Structure 1
Amino acid sequence: MEFVKKLEDRSYRTYKARLMAHRRLVLRNNAWNCSLIAFATSTTVASVGILIEKNMYGRGGDALMVALAILSLVTSLVVSNMNYGARGRAMEANYKMIQQISAELESFFTGQGTDSWSKYHDIHRRYLNAVDSSENHSESDHFRNTQDSLSFKHRRKVRFDTSVTFFPVFTLAVPILVIIPFILWFIRGL
């Protein structure tokens, strides 16, 4: 039964891509949480520093802190709207469901009786329901699981998706740069 093998292969590929999507969403959630915590902490500490030493960040220090606070708020709202944590948990439940279906298909021919056709239709229906019950994985999640060498276009998509995932790590430069003058001021005051 070739159609069983095709569904087995498709469900396994879907499982692997959804697993990658889950990892991507969890990584983005954690990275943005770290970035936002660092941003909030550094701007709060810097604001306290400005209260004590007015020119710690130069003549425009007050405006700089207001701009950073607004940037932090907007970033927080955008990240909150992306809902990476809940999406990651939903994707985890989905890939586990599809993994179970894939495992059932691997053992489809063991212990089969006369009801194999209805068994196949039941598994196929559950697979389609599982696929429909969650957001889809990205093309990059799919490409990360292919064994074939990727075309330039596909590699570019994977690289772009990876850079979006790691963008919060680069945003940590702002809190570091904000906190340095405070640390230098604090050390000079000791």
Structure 2
Amino acid sequence: MKDNDYRIKPLELEDAYRFRGWERGNYYLLNDYDFIYEEDWEVKAWLKTKKGFFKRYFAIYYDDKAIAYIGLKKINYILRSAELSIVMDVAYQNHGHGYKILEEFLTYAFTDLKMRRIWLDVNAFNEKAIHLYKKLGFTKKAYYLDTYNIQDIDKTREEYIEHQDEFREEGKELLSFVYTYEIKRGEFFELHAREN
């Protein structure tokens, strides 16, 4: 699958090695998205978590640089539905790459993979990602509280204080609000047919 300068291919070990050169996150609340695996065994162990019958992961290249990986997980082959996730090198964020990659990938998922419904979960504080998903045609369907990935977060940091209403503490556990967004095949193609 190729769109102009983008190449999206099944995720392999050689791709994961290229992620090691990514910049570290510059947004404190999302530091757990950084690709922190340096040792050979760490990269291989990480890649194993992306393999399985109900998962399909892809590497995204831009001008021969591995800039992101995207995945479909919890694939239901009968209902033709799956959960979407994407992680991108910080150096390539906020330049329009996310929209182009997801538009191309969703076209591929709905056409070639015959998906009917794709959903994703996003932290309520992740406003940039939510804006992107809405622009692509995703609509919010639900919300819930979930264990936040960074339990030892510094609550004096500006980023946390600004979004503290989107967190709850239950005992020693820190929870965050998570939104579920979804898009169906017909909705996606109807929206993007009007744009083109």
- TM-score, scaled relative to structure 1: 0.21
Which structure: greater strand fraction? 2
Which structure: greater helix fraction? 1
Between 1 and 2, higher relative CO (CA 8 Å, sep ≥ 6) is seen in: 1
- TM-score, scaled relative to structure 2: 0.20
Q: Which of structures 1 and 2 has the bigger CA Rg?
A: 1
